[in-house]
Amino acid sequence: MKVVHTIAELRAAIGGPQRAAFVPTMGNLHEGHLALVRQAKSLARAGEPVVVSIFVNRLQFAPHEDFDRYPRTLARDCELLEPAGCDIVFAPDERELYPEPQGYKVNPPAELADILEGHFRPGFFTGVCTVVMKLFQIVQPRVAVFGQKDYQQLMVLRRMAQQFALPIEVVGGQTRRADDGLALSSRNGYLSADERAEAVTLSRVLRAVRSQLDGGDRDLAKIEQGALDALTARGWKPDYVAIRRRADLQVPTAEQLAAGEPLVVLAAAKLGATRLIDNLEL
């Protein structure tokens, strides 16, 4: 496995005409990322290297968010990546990726990117789309794998690839969970022992939403409010719990609900100082 830090080194390492299977990350890797890397390995065709980028992208953090304290653990990440099947780690520093302020940006449409995560984190998806577009130009992958835990991110990036006719297949990887059901996330590392024990409530609340829909309840606003109340009662500060259409994360109409529209429930909530997100297809 090669570890490279510049665009020139990366291009030399990929070499030749072959493309790559790509997993963009911000590092501080856990089993969820490693599963994406193994998935990329299984999707890679003969001769195509698996490339993992590690870059904490300032553009997608608001000034009050955790950019400065986001864990940087490159040496340990590399130890985990090699056995997972990674061939090339691309770990640029900020001067390499943003040698001058990034004036050209990719602004995703408001109806996809200013809702849910984008409502609570204004500019987040512009930051994500801009860095991913840039990484796509640098790596030129044939296939790129993103975790379904960031469900809206995956949808926004898939549409970006479609609308710009990028010759890149955007693939989703299943969310990995701890034994108690908590979705794996780098931000779980911020939780105290008590908070870690409580964190499982988020996935429990989502499963309760699924049970209510499975039981025939179709009053989405009531179900969402019940989930918000359950979180608040246990000391969480929820941003949203939202039952949406999988395809575009819009609110389903009554007709669509009756016709069995594929749905997903998405949630974001703060536990202490840590903001966690999760989702469940219904």
**Near ligand PAF by CB under 6 A: residue from 25, 148, 152, 212:** 25
Cα(37)–Cα(54) distance, integer angstroms: 13
**Near ligand PAF by CB under 6 A: residue from 48, 87, 117, 150:** 150
Provide the 3-class DSSP secondary structure of residue 22: strand
Considering the complex, state which of residue 186 and residue 203 has its C-beta at the smaller distance from ligand PAF: 186
Cα(268)–Cα(154) distance, integer angstroms: 16
**Near ligand PAF by CB under 6 A: residue from 36, 40, 89, 131:** 131
**Near ligand PAF by CB under 6 A: residue from 3, 26, 209, 227:** 26
The reply to whether 132 sits near ligand PAF by the rule CB under 6 A is yes
The token pair at 217 is 């309840």
Considering the complex, state which of residue 94 and residue 219 has its C-beta at the smaller distance from ligand PAF: 94
Residue 191 contacts by C-beta under 8 Å, 6 or more apart in sequence? 199, 271, 272, 274
Considering the complex, state which of residue 19 and residue 121 has its C-beta at the smaller distance from ligand PAF: 121
The reply to whether 86 sits near ligand PAF by the rule CB under 6 A is no
Measuring CA to CA, which residue among 233, 141, 140, 147 is closest to residue 128? 147
Scored b (16 or more CB within 10 A) or e, 191-216 reads beeebbebbbbbbbbbeebbebbeee
Task: Please spell the DSSP secondary structure of 95-116, one letter per residue.
Answer: HHH-SS---S-----HHHHSST
Considering the complex, state which of residue 128 and residue 223 has its C-beta at the smaller distance from ligand PAF: 128
- Of 5, 30, 33, 119, the catalytic one is 33
* Residue 30 bears catalytic tag: no
Residues 209-268 that bind ligand PAF (CB under 6 A): none
Considering the complex, state which of residue 159 and residue 212 has its C-beta at the smaller distance from ligand PAF: 159
Cα(28)–Cα(225) distance, integer angstroms: 34
Q: Which residue type does 51 have?
A: V
**Near ligand PAF by CB under 6 A: residue from 28, 57, 126, 175:** 57
**Near ligand PAF by CB under 6 A: residue from 3, 14, 19, 24:** 24
Q: Give the interface with ligand PAF as residue ranges (CB under 6 A).
A: 24-26, 57, 60, 128, 131-132, 150, 153
Catalytic residues: 33
